[in-house]
Structures are given as C-alpha cells and as structure tokens.
Structure 1
C-alpha cells in the first residue's frame, strides 16, 4: 500500500490508498499530493457518494452507485482552493476513461475550474469522460470506498452518517 508517490487516507471506516497518474495529469497529481501532504484533508468528513476535505467539514452530496466526492472545506460543493491559487486548467487524457469503480478524478463546475475537490467513482461513469481530469485510482481499500458509498443519505443526497478522513498522508 505504501508505494512512493502515493497518497493514503486514513478514515473512520478504514484506509484508502491512491496511485497517481503523474504522466497523464501532472498538475492535478501535484495538487492532490501537496494538499494531502500539507494536511488540507485532515479531519474532513466523507460519506456515501462524497468524500469531503478540509478541516472538519461535512460531505456535500452523495450519489448511490455513482461517486463519493470530497475536497471542499466549506462543504457546499463550491469551496476549496488549489495549490496554484483558486482554479487551474483541465488535463483531459483521451487514453483515460471512467470505466469502473475506483477512478480518482477532479470535481469541477465546468471547464478549467479545478481546485481542491475530487471524486472517486463507484461504477462506470462514461458521461464524465472528457469533462473531468482523471488523475489516479484507488490502489488499495476499495472495500472502504464501497462501504463509504453505501452510507445512507437524505433527500438532498447528503450523508446521514459522517465518515471522517482522520489523516491524509503521502508516501515519499
């Protein structure tokens, strides 16, 4: 699980490891890696189909059999900054597709609006291809991702039970 250049999330449900695709999305990988290294995601809440970042924040939305999303310190779906400033450009690779569960991608609000938010797919999501930068995959802990994706949500797709990212760390 501890592969050089990877990112590890220790959550209240278990541990998730991410392999980063530095050759395909160098800026997105560096952003995620540095935010994890700086503790940006520590203490944040993640549940059901959304993991959330920033200190002690709640997940915003959850979508059963779709994704878990996180990385917004405001827990509104509109917050979070990248290491480059507010937003940075997409790094879409035609070779990478949202073909199944465990794909790590940048969440955004349109072209070139990447910040700190990310998502992990729970199923194939081909309609996201070409719209979201894929920058890695879950390399260990897919059972944790699946359990997180099964947390019950309310009518607004917000998790009823928080899953907390206790600590994010990097393997150097």
Structure 2
C-alpha cells in the first residue's frame, strides 16, 4: 500500500493551571484512519469553523472539566464548560462513530467522549492509564495520540479535583492550533 501523500495533521494545546503556564501538548491526528473525526478536532484547534454569529469556535479558552487519575483527562466542552455541551464542524451537535479500528491500548491516546453510540461532538479525552482503557474499545473512537507533552498531561492528571472529578483550579487551553 502506498504512503498517503498527506501526512497526518499535528495540532497543539498550550495549557495553564490556575493561570500559570503548564506547557504544550502536541498531538498527531489519525486522519488516515478516521478522517471525519480528525478533521472535526483539527478545526476546533484552529478555530476556522465559525458559529452562527460568524465568530471562531473551538478549544481556545476551553477547560479540562473532568480529571480521573490513573484513567483519563477530559475536556473540549467549549459550549457549557461542564461536559454537557456538544458541537461539530458538520452543522450538527453530534456525529456518528466513524469506526473502531483503533483501540485504547496505552497512555497518550486521544479519543472522543460521548454519551452513547453516535454522539460525538467536541469533547475528547486523553488516556493516562499505563495499560490503556480496553473497556472503552467499540464505544469511543480513538483519533489521535500525544507526540510531545505527556509531562503536561501528567501534571493535569495530578491536579487536585473536587466534586464530579472537576479540577479545583481551572485547567485551560489558552492557545491552540495546527503545527
């Protein structure tokens, strides 16, 4: 099989904790396996998709609202900030599971957060479990991996949390885009 002419996109998040810089997370998006899912995430990183008022919408300013040590860190709800918001680049609030070809077999993988089958939107999680999260296979779409900045992911994972696994200090994406 020939190599794809287009390499997989690489995107980044610059993260703060309580207003203090934590660092940068760089992620490769698996466009070659899940092109619709990867493109949805990529455009929310770049802000090139506009809302109905013509303003950029996406992850800049969004927070990680759920952190479970030894499992995952979840973010991307730039609608409500609490895990209830959903939006896509496709003009709908949700889109279908693209495929489950990739598995949750190690830390640093990016996967779509959802509320059941075919409910992907803007929320995502990054696995922190050293053994992965195989119980999520066939339920959540893996679409990327951290290629630099796992130390930042670990800092987020180790932040103190309160009720509903919400960090006590804001963990924010202060800048994001495509490399």
**TM bucket normalised to smaller:** 0.7 to 0.9
Structure 1 counterpart of 2:75:
70
Listed as ranges, the matches of 1:115-126 within 5 Å are 115-123=121-129, 124-126=132-134
Q: Which among 134, 137, 141 is matched to residue 133 of structure 1?
A: 141
1-side partners of 2:44 and 2:171: how far apart? 19
Query: What's 1:8 paired with?
Result: 12
Deviation digits for residues 72-100 of structure 1, max 9, x if unmatched?
Answer: 12122120201012110102233x21111
Q: Please show how residues 29-40 of structure 1 align to structure 2 within 5 Å.
A: 29-38=38-47, 40=58
Which residue is equivalent to 2:165? Answer: 157
Q: Tell me if the contact between 2:104 and 2:137 (Cα under 8 Å) persists in the aligned partners.
A: yes
Given that residues 7 and 169 in structure 1 are in contact (C-alpha distance below 8 angstroms), is that contact kept between their aligned partners in structure 2? yes
Output the CA distance in 1 between the equivalents of 2:33 and 2:8: 17
Using the alignment, how far apart are the partners of 1:119 and 1:142 within structure 2? 13
Unaligned runs of 5+ in 2: 1-6, 17-21, 48-56
Out of 93, 115, 126, the position equivalent to 1:86 is: 93
Query: Secondary structure in 1 aligned to 2:40?
Result: helix
Name the counterpart of 2:61. Answer: 43
Quote how far apart the aligned CAs of 1:63 are: 1.1
CA RMSD of aligned residues (A): 1.4
Unaligned runs of 5+ in 1: 46-50, 52-58
Change (3 A) 1:132 1:4: closer
Which structure 1 residue ranges, 4+ long, deviate > 4 Å from structure 2?
A: none
- The size of the alignment, in residue pairs, is 155
Residue matched to 1:28: 37
User: After superposition, what is the alpha-carbon deviation per residue over 1:45-64, rounded to whole angstroms, capped at 9, x for unaligned?
Assistant: 2xxxxx2xxxxxxx1x2211
Q: Secondary structure at the match of 1:35?
A: helix
